[in-house]
């Protein structure tokens, strides 16, 4: 079988499985999800053994320490995967919710939540995504096709075997969770071209992967390319609050997409804020505009590229702006539409900022790091969207469903 | 200016206008929409004069009578356009609705309805779409770029001038409604490739136009290709009700996308239903499967192509099936995901059908012709979606908005 046929065959079987998922009752899904959790715990040694092979091959291939750390599974991480499946089983079922209205003509009009169908997940090293994605899709009655990174192949294979065993135990077709074992790049492109079989693709990973997938796709894609997150410190801001928020947003976990990358400071507060900021952000490399460097001379000079950069590191660009609107324009131009915030005590400026900034998440007097599915109470995250249609920001199971209209009449016709 | 630059320039100005629209208050929108209605009424003669040029050119170019009829504007159609703008002004404002929850961590989490941004509308002959699309986009605070058919160029130009005058009268940037005067086909393709400037494209028209636009697009597209609508007459159906519904669905307006194209009849009711059906559908050409033709010998023999066909005409394909599930499978295979229904008195079969049929609209004991934005109470329709993401079925202003998250804290940080 050539690669294209191989991918189409998986997609076809997933689509077929998705028919059976349309009529799943919640109890069956719970049984399968608890089954996944139990089997993960019972197969701990088997998972670790497979993961050892991946990690050893990774070391031989010279993968970075950070990459190897993401790949590595120990007892506590295996336990966390099982716990995640159990938590997802306990979420409110997103399928079947109905909003009904009686229309004046007499019939009942229902808007019914239903699964999307077949979701293709494309991701990189972390094996826990395999369990999370399968669990979230199952909970929302979607079939899924998992295409993990080649470096996690053995770990993912065992995890998928376990998931399929749990599906069978609950009487759900095994093809409800498909897995692409052939890891040629071209296979990803075939996968996102399966119109009519794959209903949605969610690529997660570096910007180049996500761009390549989006470029090739014929099926809808929900994605974010990167997180160039901003905070604007308004002239009315509480300096103490601003320092606390900036510090948290930048240093609490700089490698995440909701970490702060560029700080915009109002002209009128710069003299008061910037010296304290330098002290509060010890260990962070500052790259400032000319006005910033008048106050923090040791800051490097920020270039145009710095304003576009997603550092994911202990680096922060700093720019002085003259107004809320200048801050909004900067964010519109250089931002990625992920998460951007204002620190201010002025209700007019807050309203202007939240009204004009068109990002998936806008924060007011809060850290950008709060932009997260777990923090928002959406349950585990299947991805983050900076697109404008269907889903924005953190995506949980509530974003893995669509709807249909049901017209219930009694011989009703169009007049 | 070459065509690509011309289109990009329009898109860039629309994007700029969309910033101003983000902060529009409802009263300004109402003023502009009522202004559009008033100015249409006041410019009746000017509109008719422009339309006369289009109609004469159309006649010379040999356009069909049906096409010319869609193009033609008389007093009552001009009046209807003004009425539509007024009705849209009275709809509930879809922007700014907020669902807020206090998270356990302390901050307030808001989900806020906002405009999508810039919507490109691609459509064919009817000039009233120009007014409807501009009005619906304005009501939902979106900028729009209108690309009407070349045959309606003069009529559309005058209507757009009127709309822009009304925008100015309300203090809204004229570029909030953009218009593509250059009608080369390639211009449409440039339009739907303006990533970052155009946020959504809605092509309306024949299947080939919609397919070409979708194929070329880099921006999200919401569309339906065609409406191959089905009714399944279950063995438990009331024969009288079935005949009434089938007749309405097929003949009330056969040229519309929600008209019936294929009738599926349960084996056990065929002997009772089909002879009466033949009489009820006088003037409709029937194309039946073998079992249908045993009862209606004068029916033509249906081919595979008939089951895929959107006739938009007084033709009906008829097929006998053995079960609800066979009907579902037929619809899954040959249908277009637009509108499909069941006529039945058996609650189990109704549940099975509505649960398994994955179309945008599913009808129960009702005509497929009820699948309509006006009938559903959504107000004027901007389009119909058979896609699965963002919008399904009739699309009103409620589908022209997206949302963003706003986190309102008081120094809240991630722990």
pLDDT at B304: 97
Identify the domain containing residue B35 by its residue range: 3-223+391-408
B23 touches chain A (CB under 8 A): yes
Cα nearest neighbour of A101 on chain B: B376
pLDDT at B54: 97
Domain identity same for A310 and A249: yes
Domain identity same for B186 and B71: yes
Chain B residues inside the 8 Å CB shell of A387:
220
Domain identity same for B117 and B207: yes
Domain identity same for B145 and B120: yes
pLDDT at B1: 86
A381, part of any domain: no
- Residues of A numbered 39-78 whose beta carbons fall under 8 angstroms of chain B's beta carbons: which are they? none
A220 touches chain B (CB under 8 A): yes
Nearest Cα neighbor of A402 from A96, A160, A72, A20 is A96
| pLDDT tens, chain A, 415 aa long | 899 999 999 999 999 999 999 999 999 999 999 999 999 999 999 999 999 999 999 999 999 998 899 999 999 999 999 999 999 999 999 999 899 999 999 999 999 999 999 999 999 878 999 999 999 999 999 999 999 999 999 999 999 999 999 999 999 999 999 999 998 999 999 999 999 999 999 999 889 999 999 999 999 999 999 999 999 999 999 999 999 999 999 999 999 999 999 999 999 999 999 999 999 999 999 999 999 999 999 999 999 999 999 999 999 999 999 999 999 999 999 999 999 999 999 999 999 999 999 999 999 999 999 999 999 998 888 999 999 999 999 999 999 999 999 999 999 999 9
Domain identity same for A72 and A95: yes
B413, part of any domain: no
Q: ipTM score here?
A: 0.94
A16 touches chain B (CB under 8 A): no
Domain identity same for A96 and A174: yes
User: Distance from B53 to chain A by nearest Cα, in Å?
Assistant: 35
CATH of the domain at A16: 3.40.605.10
B361 contacts A413? CB cut-off 8 A: no
B375, part of any domain: no
Domain identity same for A118 and A156: yes
Domain identity same for A138 and A34: yes
B333 touches chain A (CB under 8 A): no
pLDDT at A125: 79
Nearest Cα neighbor of B96 from B75, B111, B79, B80 is B111
B376, part of any domain: no
pLDDT at A161: 98
A388 contacts B116? CB cut-off 8 A: yes
B72, part of any domain: yes
pLDDT at A132: 95
A345 touches chain B (CB under 8 A): no
Domain identity same for B155 and B249: no
| C-alpha–C-alpha distance, residues B139 and B90, integer Å | 9
Cα nearest neighbour of B216 on chain A: A218
Chain B residues inside the 8 Å CB shell of A107:
366, 370
Q: Collapse the DSSP code of B6 into the 3-class scheme (helix H, G, I; strand E, B; otherwise coil) and give the result.
A: helix
A316, part of any domain: yes
Domain identity same for A121 and A266: no
B359 contacts A407? CB cut-off 8 A: no
B96, part of any domain: yes
pLDDT at B84: 94
pLDDT at A379: 83
B23 contacts A103? CB cut-off 8 A: no
Domain identity same for A78 and A172: yes
A414, part of any domain: no
A366 contacts B407? CB cut-off 8 A: yes
Chain A residues inside the 8 Å CB shell of B387:
220
For chain A, give the secondary structure using H, E and C.
Answer: CCHHHHHHHHHHHHHHHHHHHCCCCHHHHHHHHHHHHHHHHHCHHHHHHHHHHHHHHHHHCCCCHHHHHHHCCCHHHHHHHHHHHHHHHCCCCCCCCEEEEECCCCCEEEEEEEECCEEEEECCCCCHHHHHHHHHHHHCCCEEEEECCHHHHHHHHHHHHHHHHHHHHCCCCHHHEEECCCCCHHHHHHHCCCCCCCCEEEECCCHHHHHHHHHHCCCCECCCCCCCEEEEECCCCCHHHHHHHHHHHHHCCCCCCCCEEEEEEEHHHHHHHHHHHHHHCCCCEEEECHHHHHHCCCCEECCHHHHHCCCCCCEEEEEEECCHHHHHHHHHHHCCCCEEEEECCCHHHHHHHHHHCCCCEEEEEECHHHCCHHHHCCCCCCEEECCCCCCCEEECHHHCEEEEEEEEEEEECCC
CATH of the domain at B286: 3.40.309.10
Nearest Cα neighbor of A320 from A353, A274, A281 is A274
| pLDDT tens, chain B, 415 aa long | 899 999 999 999 999 999 999 999 999 999 999 999 999 999 999 999 999 999 999 999 999 998 899 999 999 999 999 999 999 999 999 999 899 999 999 999 999 999 999 999 999 878 999 999 999 999 999 999 999 999 999 999 999 999 999 999 999 999 999 999 998 999 999 999 999 999 999 999 889 999 999 999 999 999 999 999 999 999 999 999 999 999 999 999 999 999 999 999 999 999 999 999 999 999 999 999 999 999 999 999 999 999 999 999 999 999 999 999 999 999 999 999 999 999 999 999 999 999 999 999 999 999 999 999 999 998 888 999 999 999 999 999 999 999 999 999 999 999 9
Domain identity same for A343 and A404: no
pLDDT at B379: 83
User: Distance from A187 to chain B by nearest Cα, in Å?
Assistant: 21
Say what the pTM is: 0.94
B362 touches chain A (CB under 8 A): yes
Q: Is A141 left (phi over 0), alpha (psi -120 to 50) or beta?
A: left
Structurally, chain A folds into a number of domains equal to: 2
A333 touches chain B (CB under 8 A): no
Between chain A and chain B, how many beta carbons pairs sit less than 8 Å apart?
211
């Amino acid at each position: 079988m050539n690669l294209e046929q191989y991918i189409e065959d998986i997609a076809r079987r997933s689509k077929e499985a998705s028919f059976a998922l349309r009529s799943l009752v919640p109890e069956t899904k719970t049984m399968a999800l608890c089954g996944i959790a139990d089997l993960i715990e019972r197969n701990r040694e088997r998972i670790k053994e497979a993961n050892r092979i991946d990690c050893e091959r990774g070391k031989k291939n010279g993968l970075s320490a950070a990459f190897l750390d993401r790949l590595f599974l120990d007892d506590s991480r295996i336990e966390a995967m099982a716990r995640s499946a159990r938590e997802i089983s306990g979420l409110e079922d997103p399928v079947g919710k109905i909003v009904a209205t009686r229309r004046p003509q007499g019939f009942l009009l229902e808007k019914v939540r239903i699964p999307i169908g077949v979701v293709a997940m494309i991701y990189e090293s972390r094996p826990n995504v395999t369990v999370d994605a399968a669990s979230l899709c199952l909970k929302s009655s979607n079939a899924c096709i998992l295409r993990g990174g080649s470096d996690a192949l053995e770990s993912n294979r065992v995890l998928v075997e376990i998931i399929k065993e749990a599906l069978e135990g609950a009487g759900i077709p095994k093809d409800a969770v498909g897995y692409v074992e052939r890891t040629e790049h071209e296979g990803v492109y075939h996968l996102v071209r399966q119109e009519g079989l794959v209903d949605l693709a969610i690529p997660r990973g570096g910007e180049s992967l996500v761009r390549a997938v989006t470029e090739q796709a014929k099926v809808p894609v929900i994605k974010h390319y990167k997180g160039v997150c901003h905070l604007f410190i308004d002239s009315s801001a509480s300096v103490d609050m601003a320092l606390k928020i900036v510090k948290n947003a930048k240093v609490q976990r700089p490698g995440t997409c909701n970490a702060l990358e560029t700080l915009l400071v109002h002209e009128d507060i710069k003299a008061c804020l910037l010296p304290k900021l330098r002290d509060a952000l010890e260990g962070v490399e500052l790259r400032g505009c000319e006005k910033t460097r008048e106050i923090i001379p040791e800051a490097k000079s920020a270039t145009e590229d710095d304003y576009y950069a997603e550092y994911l590191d202990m680096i922060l660009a700093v720019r002085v702006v003259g107004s809320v609107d200048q801050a909004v324009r900067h964010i519109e131009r250089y931002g990625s539409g992920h998460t951007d915030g204002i620190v201010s005590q002025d209700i007019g400026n807050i309203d202007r900022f939240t009204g004009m900034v068109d990002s998936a998440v806008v924060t007011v007097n809060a850290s950008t790091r709060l932009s997260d599915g777990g923090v928002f109470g959406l349950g585990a995250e299947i991805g983050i969207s900076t697109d404008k249609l269907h889903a924005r920001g953190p995506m949980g199971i509530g974003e893995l469903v669509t709807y249909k209209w049901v017209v219930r009449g009694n011989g009703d016709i169009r007049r």
